[in-house]
């Protein structure tokens, strides 16, 4: 009778492992899943807030770009004198500066959203990328071509910053044993890696590379930090070797499930006057007799591209928001179903337990 009273008081059929060992184990697992899913719902809601904050800033950026294009169209008018064009250019410059300010200050909590640092991801350490021996001099050859993700390393680059590659401590020797200028070799590799990253769509990653040469074998070893690897061609370097990629920090991921690995990434590339190509624009610049475009004409072309870029970014954010909203709906359904399952296992059937308690009580009193 005491157990029946305990079950009626607590509302649980299982109050200790001895009540139902298997049921307790299953129930605790379901509770863990349910708790994780509830937190995942809050994570997804935070992700929506992040996306809305970024999209709101990009909306204002679009408005400024539209106004800048209007000014460019206005300045491309032969009836305007120099002072009128200078006035238009002054507003144009101020709007570009405001775009930079919006980029620098748009944040969610302490996380900057539009400076290119939100949405960079890399993982794994010590993944080796095999090099390929050089072809004869002056012949292009693939120095490295390896899908590192298949070797256990992945990277998602969703920022918008320019690729930055640093190569140091390089010593190259030719067939005569003379030392070659490392700067020239590094420049070739720099340009090749940067171009390959842009072409592959990985976009605007900071790739730090160090390199060294084994004089005994002539092998050149690259160590890359911050990328999955690279595919490029170089000429007349006379090298071979291998590169090792190491991981950097992960950002922009939201845990949207109860289990490890159930994440969604939100990537927001940098949106400022540099990435939009606005820095060099000048509405007062005149067309040249050799076919050079006027500053206003050049500005219109650049702004068309910039507006499209920002619109694409906003569209991606909108798609992400819709996905998170559906994720929340699905998570809520899962929470409801798991809670019901856990309740059926753990909770007391009050009617049945009350009948049992009353029966035991009558028998006890009848003594």
pLDDT at 15: 82
Confidence band for 142, pLDDT divided at 50, 70 and 90: very low
| pLDDT band per the 50, 70, 90 thresholds, residue 138 | very low
Most confident of 44-58, 179-193, 248-262: 44-58
pLDDT at 362 over 90: no
What are the DSSP E strand ranges found in 36-183?
Answer: 107-108, 111-112, 120-122, 125-130, 141-144, 155-157, 164-166, 172-173, 179-180
- Map out the domains of the chain with their CATH numbers: 1-115+258-367 (1.20.1330.10), 120-250 (no CATH)
Residue 223 has pLDDT above 60, yes or no: no
Mean pLDDT of the chain: 72
Question: Is the Cβ–Cβ distance between 238 and 174 less than 8 Å?
Answer: yes
User: Cα dihedral sign for 309, 310, 311, 312?
Assistant: positive
Lowest mean pLDDT, pick from 20-29, 49-58, 196-205 = 196-205
Q: CA 145, CA 130: separation in Å to the nearest integer?
A: 8
pLDDT at 287: 62
Q: Does residue 128 have a pLDDT over 70?
A: no
203 pLDDT band (50/70/90 cuts)? very low
Distance of alpha carbon 191 from alpha carbon 237, whole angstroms: 14
Question: What pLDDT sits at residue 89?
Answer: 93
Instruction: Please check whether residue 320 is in contact with residue 261, taking contact to mean a CB–CB distance below 8 angstroms.
Output: no
Most confident range (mean pLDDT) of 79-83, 129-133, 202-206 is: 79-83
Which two three-digit tokens encode residue 131?
Answer: 């090099």
Using an 8 Å Cβ cutoff, are 182 and 171 in contact? Answer: yes
pTM value?
A: 0.61
pLDDT in tens, 94-106: 999 999 999 999 9
Q: How far is CA 304 from CA 59, 178, 259, 281, in A?
A: 15, 51, 44, 13
Greater confidence, 121 or 10?
10
Q: How confident is the model at residue 170 (pLDDT cuts 50, 70, 90)?
A: very low
């Amino acid at each position: 009778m005491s157990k029946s009273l305990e079950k009626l008081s607590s509302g649980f059929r299982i109050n200790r492992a001895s009540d139902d060992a298997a049921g307790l184990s299953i129930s605790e697992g379901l509770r863990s899943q349910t708790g994780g899913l509830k937190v995942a719902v809050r994570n997804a809601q935070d992700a929506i807030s992040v996306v809305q904050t970024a999209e709101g800033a990009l909306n204002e950026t679009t408005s400024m770009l539209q106004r800048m294009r209007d000014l460019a169209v206005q300045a491309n008018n032969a009836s305007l004198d120099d002072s009128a064009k200078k006035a238009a250019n002054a507003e144009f410059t101020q709007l570009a500066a405001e775009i930079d300010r919006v980029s620098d200050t748009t944040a969610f909590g302490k996380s900057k959203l539009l400076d290119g640092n939100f949405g960079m991801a890399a993982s794994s350490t010590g993944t080796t990328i095999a090099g390929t021996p050089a072809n004869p001099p002056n012949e292009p050859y693939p120095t490295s071509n390896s899908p590192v993700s298949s070797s256990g390393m992945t990277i998602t680059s969703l920022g918008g910053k320019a690729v930055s590659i640093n190569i140091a401590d390089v010593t190259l020797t030719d067939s005569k044993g003379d030392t070659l200028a490392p700067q020239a070799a590094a420049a070739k590799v720099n340009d090749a890696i940067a171009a390959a990253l842009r072409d592959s769509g990985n976009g605007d990653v900071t790739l730090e590379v160090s390199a060294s040469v084994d004089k005994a074998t002539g092998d050149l070893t690259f160590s890359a930090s911050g990328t999955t690897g690279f595919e490029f061609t170089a000429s007349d370097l006379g090298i071979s070797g291998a590169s090792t990629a190491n991981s950097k920090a992960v950002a922009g991921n939201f845990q949207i499930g109860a289990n490890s690995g159930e994440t969604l990434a939100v990537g927001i590339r940098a949106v400022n006057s540099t990435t939009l190509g606005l820095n060099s624009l000048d509405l007062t610049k005149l067309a040249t007799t050799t076919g050079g475009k006027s500053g206003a004409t050049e500005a219109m072309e650049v702004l068309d591209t910039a507006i499209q870029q920002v619109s694409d970014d906003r569209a991606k954010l909108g798609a992400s928001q819709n996905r998170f909203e559906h994720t929340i709906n699905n998570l809520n359904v899962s929470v409801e179903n798991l809670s019901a399952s856990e309740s059926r296992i753990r909770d007391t059937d009050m009617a049945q337990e009350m009948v049992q308690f009353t029966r035991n009580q009558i028998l006890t009193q009848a003594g």
